[in-house]
Amino acid sequence: MSMSMKTLVAGAAVAAGLSAATAAPLAEKEAAVIPVLAPWTGPYGGVPPFDKVTVPQLMPGLEIAMAEALAEIDRIAANPAAPTFDNTIAAMERSGRTLDRVITIYGIYSSTLNDEAVQAVEREMAPRLAAFSDQITQNEALFKRIAAVYEARENSGLTPEQQRLVWLQYTDFVRAGAKLGPAEKKQLSQINQQLAALYTKFGQNVLADENDQQIVIDNEAGLAGLPESVRAGAAQVAEARGLEGKWVIANTRSSIEPFLTYSARRDLREQAWRMFVNRGDNGGATDNNAIITEILALRAQRAKLLGYETHAHWRLENTMARNPARAMALMEAVWVPAVARVREEVADMQAIADKEGAGIRIEPWDYRYYAEKVRKAKYDLDETEITPYLQLENLREGMFYMARELFGFNFKPVAPGTVPVYHPDVRVWEVTDPKGNLVGLWYFDPYARKGKRSGAWMNAYRPQERFDGEVKTIVSNNSNFVKGKPGEPVLISWKDAETLFHEFGHALHGLSSNVTYPYLSGTRVARDYVEFPSQLLEHWLSTPEILNRYAIHYQTGKPIPPALVEKIKQADRFNQGFDTVEYLSSALIDMKLHLAGAQAIDPDKFERETLAALGMPPEIVMRHRTPQFNHVFSGDGYSAGYYSYLWSDTLTADAWEAFTEAGGPWDKAVAQRLRDNVFSVGNTVDPADGYRAFRGRDAGIDALMRKRGFPVPAPATGSK
């Protein structure tokens, strides 16, 4: 998943887009006492001053930077000269630079160093940032100027990129309520502030359940079935939590999923599964159900106020899908064959359980465990056979190889101490092009720790731009691998390796950016398009060039045997029913919740009844149940937008076939077209046009169905 500041800071989307400082008098004066305000200095065009920033600086830093940004905006709005692109749109791109820097660091603390002190800042500042954002979009004099530039955009001698920037700024302002009357504006801003507070509470509740709940194992019998790497990880977690000599399964995806895959203890699997799927749904202080009801009601109210049928209609208007109906049509087309595949998968698993005399009916806490047994039986493939070849650091080198071959990027580690980091686990690489010119920096924060959001994501600390001189980008990849013992390699699962390549795809999207204006830079593209570059790069993991060179056994040093690679390839479409249904049930619930309109919604009941109506297989639970669905309820980001992964995957599958139809994964000409039309253009072109320029046509659904091993629909039904 890509997480930009736009989603980390609820409601601050406009602030994140504001950019470029001419003068920063207010902040400069304060920077000596509050370093978080200071322009970034040091090598590489300046780097975040993590060595000087402290949590107590965050709140005053945000306050001062917001005041400065508002003063800058007021100056633009009050300009006596007639509105032009330069004195209005470009001036906005120049403004808010101090705030951009502070918000970036605040976001890093929120997502990776989230302790009690940071949470207090979040609770205080989230509503105020939302109000700040509204103050800008509701500035009438400013909007009048933007509208004037917008009206004249085709006859002002603007470049295509400038015209698109004007169009996007204008559209974003209108979508945020710039055309409303004063009373409605006030009401809207109140809703946004209420929502921002609720999003913060929602995310903190999920994190609390992840931090505070765990399964402690204190004897060998509790470890039955677990491979050495999982045992070692559990021992490490126990040690970090002061339970030396025991084993702890933390309540996070990176701990729970391997446990459910391997543990032979059905009772413990059920216990772990229940703990994980009930995050945010346990009653008491961290229960999210009432918060969800409130969020949905406020979102429905806001959509009405803005003139949209539902929150989903509002959210999808500026996406590639454009409306909920098109997104639903795609989801429904894939849902039916996916459920049919699940029935086959369950039958295979039940047969094995019966043969073993287990005397059970497959339940959700059995799925991953028995799926492994089926994989072994059907493809003679055992995940524990692969894992010893998947060393985190070697795979990272494999990603660098891919970046060199496809993008011409070279990665060189930055000597420790050259660039400050916010945690000793974080490392930094400098990225250069074939001529040796600096492209940007890549920060890597691989390990799980308390206070770090679960999952994996990319974050751009600074977007590329060349508007007032070339600015090099700084991007980061974050994940939650369980750190092994010092000096021992970290072994990861095949799925985690895919995620690693996925997030690196987002990083390469940011690093490839070649645009003028920061508002259009890198990954700042439509939500249902942004996952396309990242999903596409997952495909390179399984190429022989990567596996033969970088999948090296951690003990023998031997590369992965060709026979094993072949087996991985054969098993490529294995368990696609589970993967698709687990994901798609979440995406469908997300969309249906936001289409349900103004009725008061009881989340548990809605989830139960909607899944029953959909024919949800009882052996699977949603990947993100409603009370823990951070994508959707800890910000607006992916609300009515979780479908985006599937939408992007239609492009991904089709784009991969562009390579396989040509010279294969490393085809230079296809890679060049991909860079020119997708990775480098940011949001300077309409994504549908960019894709067409790359592929020579639109993507249909057929390649997606082939990728997942589902029947390809008869001709003339290729939706989209």
Residues 203/629, Cβ–Cβ less than 8 Å? no
Kindly tell me which of 1 and 306 has the beta carbon lying closer to Zn ion.
Answer: 1
Kindly tell me which of 112 and 534 has the beta carbon lying closer to Zn ion.
Answer: 534
Sign (positive or negative) of CA dihedral 319, 321, 323, 328: negative
- 523 lies in the site for Zn ion, by CB under 5 A: no
- 477 lies in the site for Zn ion, by CB under 5 A: no
CA-based nearest residue to 37, from 19, 8, 22, 57: 57
Rounded to the nearest whole angstrom, what is the least distance from the CB of residue 661 to Zn ion in the complex?
Answer: 25
**Of 187-195, 215-223, 528-536, 622-630, which segment contacts Zn ion by CB under 5 A?**
528-536
Rounded to the nearest whole angstrom, what is the least distance from the CB of residue 459 to Zn ion in the complex?
Answer: 11
Residues 558/550, Cβ–Cβ less than 8 Å? no
d(CA 523, CA 632): 19
d(CA 5, CA 102): 11
Rounded to the nearest whole angstrom, what is the least distance from the CB of residue 572 to Zn ion in the complex?
Answer: 20
Going by their DSSP bridges, the two strands 457-462 and 438-447 should be labelled as unpaired
Task: Provide the 3-class DSSP secondary structure of residue 233.
Answer: helix
Strands (E), 315-374: none
Size of the site for Zn ion (CB under 5 A): 4
Residues involved in catalysis: 503
Kindly tell me which of 138 and 586 has the beta carbon lying closer to Zn ion.
Answer: 586
Phi-psi region of 356 (alpha: psi -120 to 50; beta: other; left: phi over 0): alpha
Candidate list 1, 426, 511, 653; residue touching Zn ion; CB under 5 A: 1
- 2 lies in the site for Zn ion, by CB under 5 A: yes
- Other beta carbons less than 10 A from residue 283's beta carbon: 8
Rounded to the nearest whole angstrom, what is the least distance from the CB of residue 321 to Zn ion in the complex?
Answer: 17
Residues 9/102, Cβ–Cβ less than 8 Å? no
d(CA 36, CA 58): 7
Kindly tell me which of 259 and 691 has the beta carbon lying closer to Zn ion.
Answer: 691
Task: Provide the 3-class DSSP secondary structure of residue 329.
Answer: helix
**Of 261-269, 348-356, 531-539, 651-659, which segment contacts Zn ion by CB under 5 A?**
531-539
Kindly tell me which of 83 and 682 has the beta carbon lying closer to Zn ion.
Answer: 682
Of 241-270, which residues contact Zn ion (CB under 5 A)?
none
Rounded to the nearest whole angstrom, what is the least distance from the CB of residue 635 to Zn ion in the complex?
Answer: 15
CA-based nearest residue to 455, from 446, 465, 463: 446
- 478 lies in the site for Zn ion, by CB under 5 A: no
Kindly tell me which of 102 and 456 has the beta carbon lying closer to Zn ion.
Answer: 456
Opening angle at CA 143, ends 138 and 149, nearest 5: 165
- Other beta carbons less than 10 A from residue 330's beta carbon: 21
Phi-psi region of 362 (alpha: psi -120 to 50; beta: other; left: phi over 0): beta
**Of 39-47, 228-236, 377-385, 524-532, which segment contacts Zn ion by CB under 5 A?**
524-532
| 3-class SS letters over 187-204 | HHHHHHHHHHHHHHHHHH
Residues 40/47, Cβ–Cβ less than 8 Å? yes
- Pair of tokens at residue 190: 């109140």
Kindly tell me which of 73 and 320 has the beta carbon lying closer to Zn ion.
Answer: 320
Of 406-435, which residues contact Zn ion (CB under 5 A)?
none
Rounded to the nearest whole angstrom, what is the least distance from the CB of residue 534 to Zn ion in the complex?
Answer: 4
Going by their DSSP bridges, the two strands 438-447 and 473-481 should be labelled as parallel
Rounded to the nearest whole angstrom, what is the least distance from the CB of residue 1 to Zn ion in the complex?
Answer: 4
Kindly tell me which of 457 and 467 has the beta carbon lying closer to Zn ion.
Answer: 457
> What angle in degrees, to the nearest 10, is found between the helix axes of 324-355 and 367-379?
70
- 512 lies in the site for Zn ion, by CB under 5 A: no
Kindly tell me which of 210 and 531 has the beta carbon lying closer to Zn ion.
Answer: 531
- Residues comprising the chain, all counted: 720
Kindly tell me which of 126 and 507 has the beta carbon lying closer to Zn ion.
Answer: 507
Rounded to the nearest whole angstrom, what is the least distance from the CB of residue 465 to Zn ion in the complex?
Answer: 23
Chain-centroid distance of CA 515 in Å reads 22
Rounded to the nearest whole angstrom, what is the least distance from the CB of residue 537 to Zn ion in the complex?
Answer: 10
d(CA 98, CA 29): 12
**Of 85-93, 237-245, 527-535, 647-655, which segment contacts Zn ion by CB under 5 A?**
527-535
Residues 236/485, Cβ–Cβ less than 8 Å? yes
Candidate list 112, 319, 534, 628; residue touching Zn ion; CB under 5 A: 534
Opening angle at CA 667, ends 665 and 673, nearest 5: 105
Of 111-170, which residues contact Zn ion (CB under 5 A)?
none
**Of 63-71, 234-242, 439-447, 525-533, which segment contacts Zn ion by CB under 5 A?**
525-533
Rounded to the nearest whole angstrom, what is the least distance from the CB of residue 412 to Zn ion in the complex?
Answer: 26
Site residues (vs Zn ion, CB under 5 A) = 1-2, 531, 534
